[in-house]
Structure formats: structure tokens, C-alpha cells
Amino acid sequence: MAKKKVLVLCVDRDDDLGVKANVRAPIIGKNEVLKATQMLGLADPSDSDVNAMFRAVQIYDELRRKGEKVEVAVITGSESMGIESDRKISDQLDRVLKRFDADEIVFVSDGASDEQVIPLISRKVPNVYVERIVVNQAVKLESTYFVIYNFIKNMINNPRYSRLFLGVPAIALIFYAFFGSAAIRLIIGFIGIYLFLKGFQLEDTVFRVFHSLSESASKMRFSLFLYLTSITFFIAGLIIGASKVTAVKPEGILNTVVLFVNTSVYAFGISAMAWCVGAYLDKKIKNVRSLLGVELMIVAFAFLTDVTTNLILVNELTLTNLAKALVIVGLMLLLAVMINSFGKRRRKNAII
């Protein structure tokens, strides 16, 4: 019976090897792994990946002495972690398996973060055995010290952590210095906005908005004025809605939300329309007919929202009243579709 080929694999998911020691992966072979381990150890002796890589070489030697067909390798991900990191790990593992077609993998891990890629590895090589390496300290206090030390060092030097642990408190202190006790509401508000964006994964949308603004500003386009107008109306809508709710003080969360939306809907609508015109000028909306279609849809949605919330506020939300509003909105949307379809037919005839 032929002996199985065993790959001793160490995964550096956040690419400390590349970031700290400038070592490119995949690293295949005992001598190459030892060389990379030494470089990482010299760059950062406290990095746990150093211990995992030494353990991988140790397992390689043990299996080699037993007469196993064995190889050792190290693959890395990305500093940003997540999907990008896992894609790099998958690609590098494919390259390792081309050179050494393993039947089994001994996965050497230094923690739960690296072990998250085990399902990815097991899809390529079903037999995966995990060896977790834990660094023992002589005194518990010493271990606690290093945990705190590494946390503080990452908090200061790593941009991913410094923005959250240093940037946010810095903004809070600046607000408190300028606005005193009133800043507490502002700070809570900003924390709420941050949690909202993170919770609904809207960061990319916000970044795209700022990218459009910076691009228009750098090229001195007229669209910048429209973007600023859009933001102004959006903020005005928030202020108007909040002021109305504060003045009327409606009972219940539903009435509060309905009143806020009813008061602010047209300001939000104008904001959206101004932004779309700016996007058209920046050629993000292809033609005038598409722009008109989008603008009509915004007007229709704003009108329907206004009518519906009004009917709720005056307790006249009947099927008849709602049907009238839906008919008007339906006609507006039909007009938008007709305009868009007419534009497509004209383009098609021009091509013919």
C-alpha cells in the first residue's frame, strides 16, 4: 500500500510575513520556511506566527523520521482579512498542491482566526488534522502583560484599530472641548450613525458619496454645486423633521416616525433629485431620458409617501384614498417607463 503524502501547512491569515518581514508566500520546503521564520522573528519576536512556523518544521522532521512522504509550507492571506485574504490563501494553496499533491494536511494553527480557513482547505484536501500551538508563559502576570502590550501596540500602529480606538475618542474630546455638556448628544448621535452604517453595511455607499464629491471638487465641475445642494436639503430634511417632532410630541413610535417622514419627505426628494442631476453631469447616468425617468420615480415616491403619511396622521387611511394615490403614482411611473422605452427604441433604430 502506497504511503500517503502529508503536507504540514501553516497559514498566516493577516500576512504578518509580508507586512513585517517583507516575505512573499507561498513558502515551500524546510529551509525556506526556516529562513522566513527567522526573518519574521527578527522583525517581531512576539508574533505568534513564529511559534506556529517552528512547530510546523518540528512536525515535518518528526514525520520525516518515521519515513512519511512529507512537505512543509507556509501560505499567507491579506492584512485586511476577510474575502480578499481567503482568496489569496486559496490561490497559494493551489500553487503548493501543484508542487506537492498532498493526500492529507496537518494544519498548524496559532489561534481561532487562522482556523477559520479550515473549511476552505478541506474542500481541496478532505483529510485535515489540526495542531494548535499555544505559547506558555512562566508567570500568568507576564502573559497578561504581553496581551495588553500587543493590544496597545496594534491600537497605535495598525490603521484598522487606530481609527476606532484613537480616532473616535479624539473626535469626542474635541466636541466636548468646543460644546461642553451639549457635546454628549452629538457624540451619542455620531456613535449611532456609525453603528447604523456598520449594521446595514452602508460604508461603501458613504465612501462612494465622498468619492463623487472629491472628484467633482478636484475637477471644478458644476456637479459639485448640485451634490452640495443635495446634502444641504438632506440635512435640512433631518432638521425640519426633528423640529416638527419636538414641537408636536406625538404619542407612540409609529406616529413619531410618520410625522417625521411626512415633514421631511419633499426635502429628501429634492436632495435625491439634485444628486441625480449631478450624477448625470458626471456621466454616471447615461442620458437625459434615463435621468427624467429616475426623477419622475423620485417625485412619484415622494408624493405617495406624503399622501400615505398624511392619511395616517388624520386617520383617513382608507382603501379609496390610498387607491387614488396609487393611481396617480402609477400614471407617473408609467410615464417614466414610456420615456425610457422611447429612448431605447430611438437608439435601436439609430443603430439599424
How much is the pLDDT for 204?
A: 72
pLDDT tens per residue across span 10-68:
988 888 888 888 888 889 999 999 999 999 889 888 777 888 899 999 999 999 998 88
Which residues pair with residue 73 across a beta bridge? Answer: 9, 28
The residues of the chain scoring below 50 in pLDDT are 137-139, 141-142, 347-352
What is the spatial distance between Cα 72 and Cα 9, in angstroms, rounded to a whole number? 6
How much is the pLDDT for 139?
A: 44
What is the spatial distance between Cα 203 and Cα 68, in angstroms, rounded to a whole number? 50
What is the spatial distance between Cα 275 and Cα 104, in angstroms, rounded to a whole number? 56
Asked if residue 266 lies in contact with residue 302, where contact means CB atoms within 8 angstroms, the answer is: yes
Amino acid symbol at 255: N
CB count in 10 Å sphere of residue 182: 10
Residues in CB range of 68: below 8 A, 6 or more apart: 3, 4, 6
How much is the pLDDT for 350?
A: 45
What is the spatial distance between Cα 35 and Cα 24, in angstroms, rounded to a whole number? 12
How much is the pLDDT for 122?
A: 86
Which residues pair with residue 130 across a beta bridge? Answer: 107
Amino acid symbol at 177: A
How much is the pLDDT for 138?
A: 44
How much is the pLDDT for 211?
A: 73
How much is the pLDDT for 25?
A: 84
3-state SS, residue 139: coil
Alpha helix stretches (DSSP H) within the chain: 16-21, 30-43, 48-65, 82-99, 112-115, 118-124, 140-157, 159-162, 168-179, 183-199, 203-218, 223-248, 253-281, 288-313, 319-351
Beta 27-28 vs 69-76: how paired, if at all? antiparallel
DSSP state for residue 181 in the 8-state scheme = G
Over the Cα atoms of the chain, what is R_g?
Answer: 30
pTM higher than 0.75, yes or no?
no
How much is the pLDDT for 191?
A: 75
How much is the pLDDT for 336?
A: 65
